[in-house]
């Protein structure tokens, strides 16, 4: 059985992740691929419970936030992501480890080395094959996120925090341009999805060979 591909979708607040996640899953299913959609923080019951704390608990220390995220992540990876990939199905995950480098690293100032340590210890062997980074100026995304209402702790952060998040994502893209595909999410949705579809087509073709 050929292992499935692991895709993640990243970006700041309000960049259109949800719409594009559905687009990606529909595109792959139309091409005959079995897809499991999941998300972080969350994806399995324990991690969904932790998600509520992570998004809403006032006064969480950055390190506590990071550890809760990784506690959920190790459970998610072992109980769901890896078994799904082993069955030959694809996994499309709404955020993964890159988000920890961007939010807890860039945003909250936790050292990259500490995050690398947790990644290597807990989820080595589970790297996305492809990551879409939906990138848009902070003000554009924030306006969209706040217009939706019912904001979480991250959407209520300062512009400076979210700017650091954006710059950290861009730094990761520059370091790993083969894995991370940056998409300019301030363009019209049709153009965004055209770019995503082109990249996916190539990946599906390579996977089938």
Q: In whole angstroms, what is the distance from residue 104 CA to residue 181 CA? A: 21
Q: In whole angstroms, what is the distance from residue 102 CA to residue 107 CA? A: 6
Residues making up the chain, counted from first to last: 209
Q: In whole angstroms, what is the distance from residue 129 CA to residue 124 CA? A: 13
Q: Which is nearer to ligand TMP, 55 or 204 (CB)?
A: 55
> Quick one: which segment of 92-100, 129-137, 169-177, 195-203 binds ligand TMP (CB under 6 A)?
92-100
Q: Which is nearer to ligand TMP, 95 or 166 (CB)?
A: 95
Q: In whole angstroms, what is the distance from residue 29 CA to residue 22 CA? A: 11
Binding letters toward ligand TMP, positions 99-118, x by CB under 6 A: xx--xx--------------
- Min dist CB 191 to ligand TMP, Å, is 22
69 lines the binding site for ligand TMP (CB under 6 A): yes
Q: Which is nearer to ligand TMP, 33 or 164 (CB)?
A: 164
154 lines the binding site for ligand TMP (CB under 6 A): yes
Residue 141: C-alpha distances to residues 90, 155, 159 (Å):
28, 10, 11
20 lines the binding site for ligand TMP (CB under 6 A): no
Q: Is 88 left (phi over 0), alpha (psi -120 to 50) or beta?
A: left
Q: Which residues bind ligand TMP (CB under 6 A)?
A: 17, 39-41, 55, 69, 95, 99-100, 103-104, 154
């Amino acid at each position: 059985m050929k292992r499935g591909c692991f895709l993640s979708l990243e970006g700041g607040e309000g960049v259109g992740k949800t719409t594009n996640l559905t687009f990606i899953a529909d595109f792959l299913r139309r091409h005959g691929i079995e897809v499991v959609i999941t998300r972080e923080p969350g994806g399995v019951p324990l991690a969904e419970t932790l998600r509520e704390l992570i998004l809403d608990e006032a006064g969480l220390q950055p390190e506590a936030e990071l550890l809760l995220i990784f506690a959920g992540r190790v459970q998610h990876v072992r109980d769901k992501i890896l078994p799904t990939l082993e069955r030959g199905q694809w996994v499309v995950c709404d955020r993964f480890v890159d988000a920890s480098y961007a939010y807890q690293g860039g945003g909250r100032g936790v050292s990259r080395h500490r995050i690398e340590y947790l990644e290597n210890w807990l989820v080595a062997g589970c790297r996305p094959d492809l990551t879409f980074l939906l990138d848009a100026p902070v003000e554009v995304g924030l306006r969209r996120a706040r217009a939706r209402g019912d904001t979480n702790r991250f959407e209520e952060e300062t512009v400076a925090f979210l700017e650091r998040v954006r710059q950290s994502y861009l730094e990761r893209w520059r370091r790993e341009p083969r894995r991370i595909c940056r998409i300019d999410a301030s363009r019209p949705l049709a153009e965004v999805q055209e770019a995503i579809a082109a990249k996916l087509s190539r990946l599906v073709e390579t996977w089938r060979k």
